[in-house]
Amino acid sequence: MRATNPATGEVIREYPEDTAAAVERKLALAAEAFAVWSCASFGERAAGMHRAAAILRDRRDVYARLMTAEVGKTLAASEAEVEKCAWVCDFYADNAAQQLAPAPQATDASESGVRFEPLGAVLAVMPWNFPFWQVFRFAAPGLMAGNVGLLKHASNVPGCALAIEEVFRLAGFPEGAFQTLLIGARAVEAVIRHPVVRAVTLTGSEPAGRMVAAQAGDALKKTVLELGGSDPFIVLRDADPVEVAAAAVAGRCINNGQSCIAAKRFIVEEPVADAFTAAFVARMRTLRVGDPMDRATDVGPLAREDLLDEVHGQVTRSVAAGARLLCGGERLPRPGWFYAPTVLGEVTAGMPAFDEETFGPVAPVIRARDAADAVALANRSRFGLGASLWTRDVARARELVPSIQSGSVFVNGNVKSDPRLPFGGVKDSGYGRELSAFGIREFVNIKTVWIR
């Protein structure tokens, strides 16, 4: 495996892949760890998770620079990501006991109710774009529930994968409670089918999700899938177009535009479309693209060259289909994988910028006749991860929320994940939920107990 700096194209380090024998040893160790960890009290688990949070905060600068080096996100974004991981560790350390407390239920028995018990080893197949956060939002609830974790991380972030294993080791978790498997995609199916693995969680592309779900389903193992998104950013006619345009730039360019829940389709009611578009383009043109280690940088490089080629292809095909290039639309002439912040006008359904997930700083603007048309355009997607709605009329927003087909709707705010709220999608954006009490209950045995 190879870590490559996307800001320069230079190889950082090569990592040897785990052999089949090494993977087998790690799976055996996971089984041994589960026998111990599943019997630990919530207090013991919480103490370890609080230590993990403290380690993340103490080593924030080290882990942030590692993330920025491997995926090109800005240093400030990497630092915030480490802090968010510490937050989710503390959140579940403080709340897991209550979230998984036995729930009595009156029936014809003298005593009956539900217990929440761990399943075993959970395999996590994770992406590169939030290389720490994606993992911790599975690991914190999973480990607090008494499960053990096996991480198959994206092949371009091996350093991050090993660093996360280091966090749990330094925090004093039992040996084998959290392990990284340095394996390629072809080796995943054998791990899914292994009897030690009891469930699988995947965050990634739609094709990867379909493949892993099919393999896990054939092995009768539960899955949670968080897949792609083409999140609508709906601007109603009463919104302040200039103010909302500033939020639109932030929502589109988070993580250099490489986020499943980044705003990706900007659907604007006709009366404010011209003003919004002008303000949006003006702000996108002011963004500073450059070295992600430089704190003055707004947008860093894309994580891999093939991703840059893909997003540029979506732009050129959309323009060929009738979209109008308002700014950007080109690879920047410098080392590394930099793409100019781009806005497309006159985008309609059937164009790649409307129909596909664009993973980079590319923003299509779509005009809507009215609010009903805006919602219809928002729903005209096979994805349904998140959505945002911008208006001064909150009562009107409440009326529209039930009509928007997505796992979350944020009114007058960009979509984000929060340990206190469930996170996940509908349609081709996947199923199941992460975070909150809903997330920690995804990978437990919900056991009915009936006593007379």
Which residues does the annotation mark as catalytic? 226, 260
Q: What are phi and psi of 12, to 5 degrees?
A: -85, -50
User: Encoding tokens for residue 31?
Assistant: 């089984």
Count of residues for the chain?
Answer: 452
Cβ atoms of residues 15 and 309 within 8 Å: no
Cβ atoms of residues 52 and 167 within 8 Å: yes
For β-strands 222-226 and 231-235, DSSP reports them as: unpaired
d(CA 82, CA 353): 32
Q: For residue 17, with 0-12 CB atoms within 10 Å meaning exposed, 13-18 middle and 19 or more buried, which class applies?
A: middle
Q: Exposure string (b/e) for 23-34, b if CB count within 10 Å is 16 or more?
A: beebbebbbebb
d(CA 107, CA 448): 12
d(CA 3, CA 15): 8
d(CA 86, CA 299): 25
